[in-house]
Amino acid sequence: MSQNAIAIITDSTCDLPDDKIAQYGLQVVPMQLIWGSQLLRDRVDIQADAFYQRLISDSAYPTTSQPTPADFVAAIQQAQASGAAEAIIFTISGQMSNTYNSARLAGEMVDFPVTIVDSKANSMSLGWQLMAAARIRDAGGSTADILAAAERVRASTVTLLYVDTLEYLQKGGRISLAARWVGTILDLKPLLHVDHQTGRIEPNSRTRTRGQALEKMYTTFFSRLDTSQPLHVAVMHGNVPALAREVADRIQQDYQPVEMVTAITSPVMGVHTGPGALALCGYAGNF
């Protein structure tokens, strides 16, 4: 089956680097940032480096908006024009954004076979699903095979997130009341996780210092993976490349993953996690 036979479409929260998007022939529909009087398309009108610099210096605080149904319709039509016979759209968790609903409405607006998937994930926990799905597609798999591959990854993925402050997640409404509470006692440093069953960001643990939080994230992450299996690991960061490289080098030395991605989180994700954030996301298995 050709790569074009089944189009795989997603949104820009997937945080996949550009080379991976090109390698797997993915279509990415940008989320939007509203910053003062500007409406900026994520990773199109504003890139991550410029975003984090402005986030620190600009007194105005940006908000985010999901793509419209028309945005997804345009992507579906582009896929059809490129020769696709059908499309699968993987979106950020419906608990974090209304993007899934936009995609669902778009699917109802076109006379074209479209499958909409709530990834129950964000960032590279969505990105890993996309890469697994594309590999099965490119090997000639059916839609059912593609969906099953993405589901296997979702069910196996562990995502842990450290943020310097809960301020950004609070402002964006992307964190539960319980998780908001964990950062209020003695200014403790929170460690969060994505629940890939519910699609929510939840509290994991609290430590007193940044160093303790990062060490706790590292040990907890690998304790939840079967390290005897091939490891697929992503190190995502909020404009702290030196720290991300340090963690990635440690992972390479300790565990030799078969696949590793180190990347800066996209502007629309950075609105909610803020500068200085670091996340580990990955799974173990031959898929």
Question: Minimal CA–CA distance to 234: which of 2, 16, 6, 5?
Answer: 16
CA pair distance 259, 256, nearest whole angstrom: 9
CATH number at residue 167: 3.30.1180.10
Same domain? For 138 and 215 the reply is: no
Q: What is the pLDDT of residue 20?
A: 97
pLDDT tens, residue order, the chain (287 aa): 445 599 999 999 999 999 999 999 999 999 999 999 999 999 999 999 999 999 999 999 899 999 999 999 999 999 999 999 999 999 999 999 999 999 999 999 999 999 999 999 999 999 999 999 999 999 999 999 999 999 999 999 999 999 887 777 766 555 554 455 554 554 667 789 999 999 998 887 777 788 999 999 999 999 999 999 999 999 999 999 999 999 999 999 999 999 999 999 999 999 989 999 999 999 999 98
Range of the domain at 219: 156-284
Residue 91 within a domain:
yes
285 phi/psi in degrees, rounded to 5: 150, 165
Residue 180 within a domain:
yes
Same domain? For 172 and 149 the reply is: no
Same domain? For 12 and 148 the reply is: yes
Note whether 115 and 6 are within 8 A (CB).
Answer: no
Residue 141 identity (one-letter amino acid): G
Same domain? For 118 and 188 the reply is: no
The tally of domains found in the chain comes to: 2
Residue 240 within a domain:
yes
Of 115, 140, 155, which marks where a domain is finished?
155
Same domain? For 164 and 149 the reply is: no
Same domain? For 96 and 211 the reply is: no
CATH number at residue 135: 3.40.50.10170
Q: What is the pLDDT of residue 232?
A: 98
Q: Which residue has the tokens 């890469």?
A: 131
Same domain? For 84 and 43 the reply is: yes
Same domain? For 149 and 195 the reply is: no
Same domain? For 49 and 184 the reply is: no
Evaluate the CA torsion angle 211, 214, 220, 223 in order and state its sign.
negative
CA pair distance 277, 239, nearest whole angstrom: 8
Q: Which residues contact 23 (CB under 8 A, 6 or more apart)?
A: none
- Strand duo 278-284 + 158-162: pairing: antiparallel
Residue 1 within a domain:
no
Q: What is the pLDDT of residue 1?
A: 41
CA pair distance 237, 153, nearest whole angstrom: 21
Note whether 274 and 55 are within 8 A (CB).
Answer: yes
* The token pair that represents 273 in the structure block: 């996690």
Q: What is the pLDDT of residue 257?
A: 98
Of 131, 155, 179, which marks where a domain is finished?
155
Same domain? For 84 and 121 the reply is: yes
Residue 201 within a domain:
yes
Same domain? For 131 and 222 the reply is: no
Q: 91: how many CB neighbours lie within 10 A of its CB?
A: 31
Q: What is the pLDDT of residue 203?
A: 81
Of 121, 155, 189, which marks where a domain is finished?
155
Q: What is the pLDDT of residue 210?
A: 87
Q: What is the pLDDT of residue 164?
A: 81
Same domain? For 131 and 194 the reply is: no
Beta strands in the chain (DSSP E): 6-11, 27-29, 32-35, 38-41, 63-65, 86-91, 114-118, 158-162, 189-195, 200-207, 231-237, 259-264, 278-284
